[in-house]
Amino acid sequence: MKGLKNKFWQWGLLLASSCCLLNVGFAQAVPEVLVPPSSFKGFNGLNFDAAGQLYVTSIIEQTVYRVNVITGEYETFINRPEGQADDFFFKPDGQIFYTATIEGEVRSFNPRTGNFKTIVSGIPGVNPIIQNEQSGRVFVAQALNPALKGLYEIDLNGLTPPRLILNQPGLNAFDFGPDKLLYSPLQFTGEIAKINVDTGVIQKVASGLKTPVAVKFNSKGELFAVDIARGEILKINTTTGQSELIVKLQPGLDNIAFGLNDLLYVTNNVDTGITEVNTQTRVVRKVIQSGGLTAPGGIAVHNDNLYVADATSYRILDRRTGRIQKTFGGYAAGIPFPTAVSVNDAHAIISSWFANAVHRLDRNTGDVLNTYTGFAAPYDAVELSDGSILVADCALNQITQILDKSGSNRRIVAGGLSCPTGLALIDDSTVLVTEYLGNKLSRINLKTGERQVIASNLSSPEGVAYHPHRIAVVADTGTQSLKAIHVDTGRSVILKKNLPIGFEGFPSGPKPFIFTGVAIAKDTVYITGDVDNSIRTFKLPN
């Protein structure tokens, strides 16, 4: 027995039956950093203040940064959660007005007094914002979802309610032209349009783009656009509608702003960077290049690859080196803001609580085969051998099964859960589920819906993976630890403590926020670090 104790520590004990569990000393698994940490979680809006200082936002990080465009040095201007900003502008006195897209609010911050104020609320997906320099009038629009389509005029004093100008899907970062009309991308149709904000009359200016998400005029009155899907900066002739390619960068471009000498600055929300573009010479210079991952969430493994839901994209990595092999820009690829991913021989199943959608993809090509909506906050989703899909819906507190490819035939497998978050199949009739708010790991019989609580002493558990030796490996984000739990006895051990997991979300949103994913391949456990954007591996003892 003494020799057995020396050979097998607590992981080995969990593999034994409950009656053979031994009381031995504990030694934590030693992690390896497969994908190193990165500094940022995607960049979104950017603009200059009256002094010519550049600022950039990160919705996921909920932070506004001040950036030195010469050196790339940066500092926090507004910290989270108040800094949940997308588009913004400054008044001459230094006040910043910005859209809190996820919260559906327009806010202001006065750096002199330190005071924050909510100007407008109740506009879901509010994204672009601009002030007409001549009139002082302010306009915002909804974006990201075809169902969110309002263009509004708002009162910065908050004394009058927003005035709806028109409903037009696809409006995004816009700008006023020399003709006093509002120019905007129409991202769902690949067009640029101009709008009379008094009458609501809209006219098409250009077409043939893939997914335009921002337009801006330079000091000469020339219009430029950014295409997020193709990574292109384009010059648009507002008279003929013709477009001229200026530079081609990495896909995932988000917004643009002109600085001194009409130098153009563009953000990338997939690879988290800021690039300076001289639109005359077409010389490109990196101001900030983060590299690595953006905000890794769900993770899956198949053969030699890792599949990662990276918040603003879906990525395929080499599971031995951690190198990124392929990147599919989430929004531009039809899979906006992926939360979690599971894979099998044919498909990848991607869920997004932000888009309230689940997607079935061709695993090899990344092509979207099916999209299913009508959820409230889908976190994890897995496909069974019969092609049906199980979805853990945190907001509805249930597991839903999509029974047909069209998605019209569904059934509730289990209800009354407490924010089901992570799923792991034991077999085609049994699934493990973590309950984030219930602090539980449960087993669900897919035929009867019967629920058996395996462990009830967890703390905000998220991702779960199943090992064939009857072990569930769980990301326990509340304690920032990785736990191994025997699914028959409920006995558990801590594999690793002090992990960079459990990134805090925004106050009114789903509490899990960025999903912490766990995957197992043979004796190796993979876990995403949503705090520092890393992936770590752990070798399980033999």
Each residue of 349-390: pLDDT tens digit? 999 998 899 999 999 899 999 999 999 999 999 999 999 999
Q: Residue 440: what pLDDT?
A: 97
The reply to whether 383 and 430 lie within a common domain is yes
Q: How far is Cα 116 from Cα 146, in angstroms, rounded to an integer?
A: 30
- The range of the structural domain enclosing residue 497 comes to 2-37+293-539
CB neighbours of 186 closer than 8 A, spacing ≥ 6?
168, 169, 170, 171, 192, 193, 204, 212
Q: Which amino acid makes up residue 365?
A: T
Considering just the CA atoms, what is the radius of gyration of the chain in Å? 25
pLDDT at 27: 44
Shared-domain flag, residues 266 and 311: no
What is the phi/psi pair of residue 12, to 5°?
-60, -35
Quote helix, strand, coil % in the chain, to nearest 5. Answer: 5, 45, 50
pLDDT of the chain along its 542 residues, tens only? 333 333 333 444 444 433 333 233 334 556 699 999 999 999 999 999 999 999 999 999 999 999 999 999 999 999 988 999 999 999 999 999 999 998 999 999 999 999 999 999 999 999 999 999 889 999 999 997 888 999 999 999 989 999 999 999 999 999 999 999 999 999 999 999 999 999 999 999 999 999 999 999 999 999 999 999 999 999 999 999 999 999 999 999 999 999 989 999 999 999 999 999 999 999 999 999 887 899 999 999 999 999 999 999 999 999 999 999 999 877 777 888 999 999 999 999 999 998 899 999 999 899 999 999 999 999 999 999 999 999 999 999 999 999 999 999 999 999 999 999 999 999 999 999 999 999 999 999 999 999 999 999 999 999 999 999 999 999 999 999 999 999 999 999 999 999 999 998 887 778 899 999 999 999 899 999 999 999 999 987 66
Q: Which of 268, 289, 310 is the last residue of a domain?
A: 289
Number of domains in the chain: 2
- Please check whether residue 436 is in contact with residue 512, taking contact to mean a CB–CB distance below 8 angstroms: yes
Contact 15, 521 (CB under 8 A): no
* Same domain for 334 and 254: no
- Count of beta carbons in the 10 Å neighbourhood of residue 453: 12
pTM passes above 0.85: yes
Reference 140, options 86, 219, 81; nearest CA is 86
pLDDT digits (tens, 9 = 90+) for 159-188: 999 999 999 999 999 999 999 999 999 999
What amino acid occupies position 67?
A: V
**Burial of 131 from C-beta contacts in 10 A (0-12 / 13-18 / 19+):** middle
Q: What integer pLDDT is reported at residue 6 of this predicted model? A: 34
DSSP class per residue in 163-217: EEEEE-TTB-B-EE-TTSPEEEEETTTTEEEEE-TTT--EEEEE---S-EEEEEE
Per the CB < 8 A criterion, the answer to whether 363 and 346 are in contact is: yes
Question: What CA–CA distances, in Å, run from 48 to 56, 265, 474?
Answer: 9, 10, 44
Q: What is the pLDDT of residue 505?
A: 85
Enter the tokens of residue 90. 């400054």
271 plus 344 within the same structural domain: no
Indicate whether 97 and 212 sit together in one domain: yes
Q: Say yes or no: 423 and 452 in one domain.
A: yes
123 neighbors 150 (Cβ within 8 angstroms): yes
Q: Are residues 103 and 132 in the same domain?
A: yes
Give the pLDDT of residue 24: 31
Do 231 and 325 belong to one domain? no
Q: Are residues 380 and 509 in the same domain?
A: yes
Q: What is the pLDDT of residue 145?
A: 81
Tell me how far apart the alpha carbons of residues 247 and 252 are, in angstroms, rounded to a whole number. 14
Alpha carbon distances (Å) from 140 to 150, 207, 276, 310, 336: 8, 23, 26, 28, 21
**71's tokens:** 């050196």
Residue-level pLDDT at 28: 55
User: Measured between alpha carbons, how far is 90 from 11 in angstroms, rounded to an integer?
Assistant: 56
Bridge partners, 108 (sequence order): 97, 117
Centre a 10 Å sphere on the Cβ of residue 477 and count the other Cβ atoms it contains: 29
Q: Which residues neighbour 540 within 8 Å (Cβ) at sequence distance 6 or greater?
A: 11, 29, 467, 523, 524, 525
* CA distance readout (Å), 121 to 125, 129, 175, 275, 346: 11, 14, 23, 33, 44
- Is residue 496 within 8 Å of residue 507, measured between CB atoms? no
- The tokens of 429 are what? 């009739």
- The span from the CA of 402 to the CA of 415, in Å, is 15
Strand partners, 115: 110
The DSSP code sequence of 431-485 is EEEEETTTTEEEEEETTT--EEEEE---SSEEEEEEETTTEEEEEETTTTEEEEE
pLDDT at 16: 43
In terms of domains, do 336 and 264 share one? no
Residue that is last in its domain, among 257, 289, 321: 289
The CATH number that applies at residue 490 is: 2.120.10.30
Residues 387 and 432 in one domain: yes
Q: What is the CATH number of the domain that holds 184?
A: 2.130.10.10
CB 192 within 8 Å of CB 186: yes
| Phi, psi dihedrals of residue 173, rounded to the nearest 5° | -50, 110
For residue 24, what are the contacts with CB-CB under 8 A and spacing of at least 6?
5, 8, 9, 10, 13
Helix or strand or coil: residue 76? strand
Say whether both 433 and 448 belong to one domain. Answer: yes
- CB atoms under 10 Å from CB of 153, counted, come to 16
How far apart, in whole angstroms, are the C-alpha atoms of residue 129 and residue 460? 36
Q: What b/e readout covers 4-30, taking b as 16+ CB neighbours within 10 angstroms?
A: eeeebbbbbbbbbeeeeeeebeeebbe
* Domain finish residue from 260, 289, 318: 289
